[in-house]
Structure 1
Amino acid sequence: MSGIKQAVKICGSQSSLARACGVTQGAVYKWLNGGEYSAKYAARIEKATDGKVTAQELCFELDEREENNEI
């Protein structure tokens, strides 16, 4: 399971994660479907999940996708 999917599950919904990160539900939807996000949001996701999903893990996933030309 991707870190973003795990974060949504922990927070209960896309809307809940969005509120915790200060973004729209649409932004979270884009993240779930391969959209990029900055390290700033990775840190907010870590805080929203009480560290269960780490910023390092999320940034590593982005790096892997970039290396594979997925983004």
Structure 2
Amino acid sequence: MNPAEAATKAAGILGNKAKMAKLLDVRPPTVNQWCSGVRPIPPARAIQIETLTKGQVKREALCPSFPWAGAAA
């Protein structure tokens, strides 16, 4: 699963893209850009999304370029 697919899956779990944007306190176009792969998902947002989806969408799937193994939990 690439980051855009992971973001789209998260939006579906949370209701829709607009609801995900509201929960994350970001603008809806930002979520649309994440879901289309136009904009990368920042590591901090990946952690928030993982928490909001109760681990159904992992931070590693949302932001695979970040060195998660070396990051503190």
Name the residue aligned to 2:68.
none
Any unmatched runs of 5+ in structure 2? 66-73
> Partners of 1:44 and 1:22 in 2: how far apart?
11
The residue aligned with 1:51 is 55
Question: Normalized per residue, which structure has more helix?
Answer: 1
C-alpha separation in 1, matches of 2:14 and 2:56: 11
Partner of 1:5: 8
Which of structure 1's runs of 4+ aligned residues deviate more than 2 A?
none
Structure 1 unaligned blocks of 5 or more = 64-71
TM-score (norm 1): 0.76
Residue-pair matches, total: 61
Instruction: State the percentage of identical aligned residues.
Output: 28
Q: TM-score, normalised by structure 2?
A: 0.74
Q: Is the 8 A contact 2:10 2:53 kept in 1?
A: yes
In the alignment, structure 1 residue 24 sits paired with structure 2 residue 35: no
TM-superposed CA distance for 1:46, in Å, is: 0.7
Once the two structures are TM-superposed, the CA of residue 16 in structure 1 deviates from its matched residue by: 1.0
Deviations 1:38-64 (A, max 9, x none): 10110111111111001122122xx3x
| Equivalent residue, structure 1, for 2:18 | 15
User: What root-mean-square deviation, in Å, do the aligned CA atoms of Structure 1 and Structure 2 show?
Assistant: 1.3
